[in-house]
A and B are shown apart, each in its own frame.
Chain A
Amino acid sequence: MGVHRCRKCAADSVINMPQHKLALCGEHFLAWVEKSTFDFIHKHRMFEPEDRVLVAVSGGKDSLSLWAILLKLGFHADGLYIDLGIDDGCGYSKRSVDYARKFAQSVSPAAELHVVDVGALYGKTVAELAARRAGGRKKLCSVCGLVKRHEMNRAARELGYPVLATGHNLDDEAAVLFGNTLRWEVEYLVRQAPVLPSGEHGLMKRVKPLARFYERETAAYAIVSNIDYIEEECPFSKGATSIRLKESLNSMEIGSPGTKLNFYFSFLRARKSGIFPGCERPALKACEKCGQATAIPGLCAFCRLTDPEIASGRENDGQEGLPGLENASETDISRL
């Protein structure tokens, strides 16, 4: 079997997408991704043309592709990079921000890049913060997620962006759904969606405009568009559960094209039809320290993590981790 022909122009295709029975050349693939993204934004009422959108960028293929697509579609989209201080001998965060800056320069002055330095703001890198928790490095990915979500929300609030967009693709969403289904985490399943609405106490609206694309499609978009992105994975993500779940889903996809697509979109339809009755979002409170939304009274999970008094008290007690943090993280805004 030779190379498939582009459905639109009969030139050699650069990508074949069996789940859509669609093969496209580079030019028509870019046009297809951009139109599909616009339709997805419109269908899920993510934002309007006049809204200012803050795109969380990591220097990777998904977030930089998302930023490029939104700008190409004519939206007012600026970038936000959160410097987590990940080094591990390879200077990962430093190299990642360079990719984000390089992209921002290429689209300037149409868009600007905001950078939040977690180490400078809170005196600890994400690895140092994770070391305070029970499980240490094993919990690094969840601490990283908690820090990113807190800082994304804070930045969007303080900089006056009504919408926060992230580059989650369908593989990311399907892997989360798969993991939560295996554990029957109903309280998480009910909240998984391409649009997470805004809430009281400054909980900002979060949207995932690329959630309908497979990961290989967002990577293909970056390559065909000549977007320079960091190809290496985070050094702390090796052996991560999310990667194992993605590999399992990809194995099923090979034998049965469309498995991931059907899994995710069938779930969204089932969720919309009310498969999880009585699982409403808990009432939100304002964190006593940062003022951001949290479902737990007192300090939010992020402030418990970064508060030096709580941390030093814990160290003096000779206990591992922080009191209440395991439960707190599950009900913090990071999960809402």
Chain B
Amino acid sequence: MGGRSAIVGFYPIAQSWIFLQTMRRMVKIFFRESEFESPGKITIRELIKGLGLNPQSVLAVKEGKLVSNETRLGTEGEIKLVSVISGG
């Protein structure tokens, strides 16, 4: 019985630890000439909005492939944000 309650008590702590580790993992972001890091837990849409950009005017490319705005950044790799607005 004691062992079971110890496991039950450990579970949320482990979950929090995993969450914190994930949050700590940073993904490299490239946008225009700038480069920065972002926590991997968020989605591309959240990243775009967080940067004050309009999701209509930016696309995300991960490892050379176009990815949907609902994709999570993940725990590794690089994301390139491509501005789609042109004009003059």
Contacts and interface: CB of A to CB of B under 8 A. Distances in A.
Interface of A: 1-4, 12-16, 23, 26, 60-62, 141, 144, 171-172, 175, 214-216, 218-220, 223-224, 231, 233-234, 236-237, 240, 242-243, 246-247, 250-251, 253-254
B48 to A, nearest CB: 11
Given A237-B87, A250-B54, 4 more contacts: A14-B66, A61-B86, A223-B66, A250-B85
Contacts of A247: 54, 57, 85
B84 interface: yes
B61 interface: yes
- Residue of B59, B66, B86 with most partner-chain A CB within 10 A: B86
A250 B68 contact: no
B39 interface: no
Nearest to A140: B88
6 contacts: A2-B70, A4-B68, A14-B66, A16-B70, A60-B86, A223-B82
Given A216-B56, A223-B59, A250-B57, A3 B68 contact: yes
A218 to B, nearest CB: 8
A318 B57 CA distance: 44
Contact of A231 (B65, B66, B83): B83
A254 B59 contact: no
Interface string B64-88: 0111111100000000001111111
Interface of B: 54-59, 61, 65-71, 82-88
Nearest to B71: A3
B55 A254 contact: yes
A234 B84 contact: no
A237 B85 CA distance: 11
Nearest to B49: A254
Contacts of A253: 56
Contacts of A14: 65-68
Contact of A215 (B66, B70, B86): B86
Contacts of B58: 216
B88 A237 contact: yes
Nearest to B61: A223
Contacts, number: 87
Contacts of B83: 231, 233
A119 B76 CA distance: 48
B88 A233 contact: yes
A12 B84 contact: no
B4 to A, nearest CB: 33
Nearest to B55: A254
Contacts of B82: 219, 223, 231
Contacts of B55: 254
B86 A233 contact: yes
A62 B84 CA distance: 10
A3 B56 CA distance: 17
Contact of B69 (A16, A26, A60, A236): A16
Contacts of A13: 68
Contacts of A218: 84
B55 to A, nearest CB: 7
A246 B85 CA distance: 8
Contact of B87 (A26, A220, A233, A250): A233
A216 B88 contact: no
A14 B56 CA distance: 14
User: Which 4 residue pairs are nearest across A and B when measured between Cβ atoms?
Assistant: A237-B88, A242-B87, A219-B84, A250-B56
A171 B85 contact: yes
Contacts of A172: 87
Nearest to A60: B86
A216 B53 CA distance: 14
Contact of B86 (A12, A220, A237): A237
A99 to B, nearest CB: 13
A26 B86 contact: no
A83 to B, nearest CB: 16
